């Protein structure tokens, strides 16, 4: 064993935390030997690893699967790795994926260009695997932290409006390729101001947390719950028609009515909500779609609250 070996053993391998363990990587490189090596090494580290030998295969895989990070070679045939940047930027589903360029080019212009195009890091070949792995772990950890800040509501832990609208955009684009029904429901706690006024905002917060926890239990894995404003929430239901969406909301409302969400002294606090259900129609914008559901929500309020109204039954 020579000196270099001893030096290398002093370096502590990067720890893969639970937060990023199982993250999915896509390795894009036209060198079979290099790809095989990276796949093997990253799998051993606990990642789910997929690979592509050219840009065209990578594009297909990116459209059909979900990845947390891409490792991209630049000098590939027939298409250069540069082609992939614009593809990622143009797609709302893909533009958030972290990307590390792993290239044989040490030209500073390539490095600058890649970082300007959206790469998170640039590593030159030849490389030491542990260095690449450390960079992957750092970027994934940071991305998870940002994701938490950028896409989640801190009080309830459900998704926020930004994430919801991004997902709605993705599904609308998918619908152009694969026609299907999808619905949203906007719902709002009835007389929430009175609860806050009578019991205080801390109790109001407990109710918001209890409500979202209970609604999440009632939803399917494909549904998405987001906080849209103060006490207003949206449930986004892909592959669901208006009738089924209404049934789901009716069932949730029935459960919520009976369930105490907070207790003050000896008093159990229960709530009701009003909801509007709207199915997506071709060429609707996200705003038009949400506005329609909102209109139905206010109709439900006008009709006495504590109910779910859909577009078909509303006579609007």
Partner 1 sequence: MSNNDGKNKVYVYIDEDLVDLIPGYMTNRKKDIEKILKALTKDDFEQIQLIGHSMKGNGSGYGFDQISEIGYFIEIAAKNKDKVAIEQQLGALEDYLNKVVVIYE
Structure tokens at 265: 């002294």
Q: Is 80 in the site for partner 1 (CB under 8 A)?
A: no
CA 289 to chain CA centroid, nearest Å: 20
Helices 286-302 and 161-177, interaxial angle, to 10°? Answer: 120
As measured in angstroms, the least distance from the Cβ of 23 to partner 1 is 20
As measured in angstroms, the least distance from the Cβ of 34 to partner 1 is 4
Q: Number of C-alpha atoms within 13 angstroms, CB side, residue 91?
A: 16
| Subset of residues 251 to 290 that bind partner 1, contact rule: CB under 8 A | none
Closest by CA to 137, choosing from 98, 163, 170, is: 98
Q: Give the range of 28-36, 193-201, 214-222, 223-231 binding partner 1 by CB under 8 A.
A: 28-36
Cis peptide preceding 312, ω within 30 of 0: no
Q: Is 37 in the site for partner 1 (CB under 8 A)?
A: yes
Active-site residue, selected from the candidate residues 165, 171, 231, 242: 231
Q: Is 14 in the site for partner 1 (CB under 8 A)?
A: no
Q: Is 92 in the site for partner 1 (CB under 8 A)?
A: no
Contact with partner 1 (CB under 8 A) among 14, 50, 93, 104:
104
Q: Is 231 a catalytic residue?
A: yes
Question: Mapping DSSP to helix (H, G, I), strand (E, B) and coil, where does residue 234 land?
Answer: strand
Neighbours of 257 (CB within 10 A): 12
Q: Give the range of 123-131, 171-179, 225-233, 260-268 binding partner 1 by CB under 8 A.
A: 123-131
Q: How many residues bind partner 1 (CB under 8 A)?
A: 23
Question: Mapping DSSP to helix (H, G, I), strand (E, B) and coil, where does residue 101 land?
Answer: strand
CB 265 within 8 A of CB 198: no
As measured in angstroms, the least distance from the Cβ of 113 to partner 1 is 18
Q: Is 79 in the site for partner 1 (CB under 8 A)?
A: no
Q: Is 82 in the site for partner 1 (CB under 8 A)?
A: no
Helix, strand, coil percent values for the chain (each to nearest 5):
50, 20, 30
Q: Is 8 in the site for partner 1 (CB under 8 A)?
A: yes
Give the integer Cα–Cα distance in Å for 40 and 88: 26
Q: Give contact residues for partner 1 (rule: CB under 8 A).
A: 1-2, 4-5, 8, 31-34, 36-38, 40-41, 44, 73, 75, 104, 125-129
Residues known to be catalytic: 231
């Amino acid at each position: 064993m020579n000196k270099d070996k001893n030096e290398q053993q002093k370096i502590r391998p990067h720890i893969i935390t639970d937060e990023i363990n199982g993250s999915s990587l896509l390795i894009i490189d036209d060198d079979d030997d290099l790809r095989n090596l990276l796949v093997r090494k990253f799998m051993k580290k606990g990642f789910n690893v997929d690979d592509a030998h050219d840009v065209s295969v990578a594009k297909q895989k990116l459209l059909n699967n979900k990845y947390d990070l891409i490792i991209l070679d630049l000098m590939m045939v027939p298409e250069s790795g540069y082609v992939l940047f614009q593809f990622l930027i143009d797609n709302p589903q893909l533009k958030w994926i972290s990307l590390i360029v792993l290239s044989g080019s040490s030209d500073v212009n390539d490095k600058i260009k890649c970082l300007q195009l959206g790469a998170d890091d640039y590593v030159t070949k030849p490389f030491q695997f542990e260095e690449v792995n450390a960079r992957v772990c750092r970027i994934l950890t940071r991305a998870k932290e940002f994701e938490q800040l950028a896409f989640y509501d801190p009080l309830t832990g459900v998704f926020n409006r930004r994430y919801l609208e991004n997902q709605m955009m993705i599904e609308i684009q998918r619908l152009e390729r694969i026609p299907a029904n999808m619905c949203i429901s906007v719902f709002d706690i009835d007389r929430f101001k009175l609860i806050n006024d009578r019991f205080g905002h801390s109790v109001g917060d407990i109710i918001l947390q209890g409500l979202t926890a209970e609604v999440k239990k009632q939803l399917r894995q494909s549904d998405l719950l987001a906080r849209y404003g103060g006490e207003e929430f949206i449930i986004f239901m892909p592959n669901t028609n208006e009738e089924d969406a209404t049934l789901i909301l009716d069932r949730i409302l029935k459960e919520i009515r009976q369930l105490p969400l907070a207790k003050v002294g000896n008093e159990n606090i229960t709530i009701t909500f009003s909801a509007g259900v709207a199915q997506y129609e071709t060429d609707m914008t996200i705003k038009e779609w949400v506005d329609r559901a909102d209109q139905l929500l206010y109709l439900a309020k006008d009709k006495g609250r504590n109910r779910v109204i859909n577009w078909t039954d509303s006579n609007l």
